[in-house]
Structures are given as structure tokens and as C-alpha cells.
Structure 1
């Protein structure tokens, strides 16, 4: 059971490119902070707290059952879970904004409000605004 808890107890950590991407969004003021990673880590001291806070309910139950041993991994699991939630939320929101802006440009081009040259110029600016330059 302890092996299961250790394997299941750690939320997936962001990989290097994801960390860099999230930091880029944070620097640009576009990041969505759905859960506070520090709070998630601190709650990991409580039985399953970090996992429950980051909506990893199954892992939270395992950590609850393995308490007090789960305090060895749940703070890191909570932190990683919060960062993963923040990353996925950010990517989703940014993608929706980007797509809405591109649809608006397509509509303007189709209606003849802007020229093809202006369309391509604005489209390139939109892509640059929403695409991390890592």
C-alpha cells in the first residue's frame, strides 16, 4: 500500500517547456492562477489536504489513508497539482482568446473591413501576442 501511495501521491509535475511557457504567460500578465501553489503545498501537511485542494480527490483519499506518512509527498504533490491546474487553465484561456481574435480578423476580412495586407499584419501580431517566444 505504501508503494501505491508513493506512486499515486505525486501529481504530475510540469516538464521544463511547460514551466517556461507558464512563466512566459506570467511575465505577460496572461497567466490564470486558479490555485495558489504555496497554499497547496502548506495544505499538504494535512491529511490529503494538498491533493483535495488541487482537485486530485482520488490521490487525496490515498494520502488521507496513508497519513502521517503522506506528509512526505503531499506538499510536493499539492504544489505540482496547483501548477498543473494553473498551466492547463492558462493555456485554455489563452487559446480561446487567440481563436476569438483570429475569428474576428477572419470576419473583418470577409466583410471587406480590412485588406489582405492588414489582415496578415494583424494576424501575425495576434500570433506573436499569444505565442511564447521560448
Structure 2
């Protein structure tokens, strides 16, 4: 089973905001794929690249994931080596799950990942974050 990452999507209020951000030139690499640049290089890279995804926490809830395609080395203008986590451009919505704030990214074992939403539910209107949070708290979604 592949290992996953979990990361806060800072500054976004919805999955649609994340899609819009990743569509911007600033979030794309030279190959046109979205990427997230981080200071830390994952030590468990092989496990991540064996089908792993990054699960995005938006407004305190895990709401979607993206498959990790590769890890690229990026050297900033300051000369510091960083890791660009290159992502599939397709986002998969997941069942919402509450997640407390944390810094950076964390490993997320396969057994702790929320399930993907069925294709028929992916086009459902998003619930307001407060309602999703309340429903996740009581285990309804």
C-alpha cells in the first residue's frame, strides 16, 4: 500500500479555490503540472511515489486529494535546495474528515485516509464549511 501526505491548503476556502490556485502560472512547473514546493524532502519518497496522494485540508476538513507523480529538486534564488511535489492535475473529492491545524506536511498511512466520494457525488454542491465540520464531528459524513 502506498503512503500518503496530508497538507493544509492555506488561503483557500473551498476545493474550487484550490483548483483556481493550481491553475495559476505561479503554482505550475515548466511541464504545466501543479506542484507544491516545500523545504523538507520526504525521507519515504519511494513509498509516496508508489501510488501515494496528497490529502488537502481546507477550512479544517480533509476535502480532496491529488496523486503524487514525482518529486523534483528545486534550487531557489537563495541557493537553498527544496522539494517540488509534482501533482496530477485531477483532484478527487473525499469524504470530509476533521483535521486540527499543523505545520508543514505529515505522512498519512493508508488506513487513516478518508474514502473517495463516488463519481455521482463529486458534482454535488459543497456544503458550507461550518455544516461540513459539524457533520464530520458527529460522523455523518
Q: Which TM-score applies when normalising by structure 1? A: 0.22
Indicate the structure (1 or 2) with the bigger Cα radius of gyration.
1
Higher strand content, 1 or 2: 2
Higher helix content, 1 or 2: 1
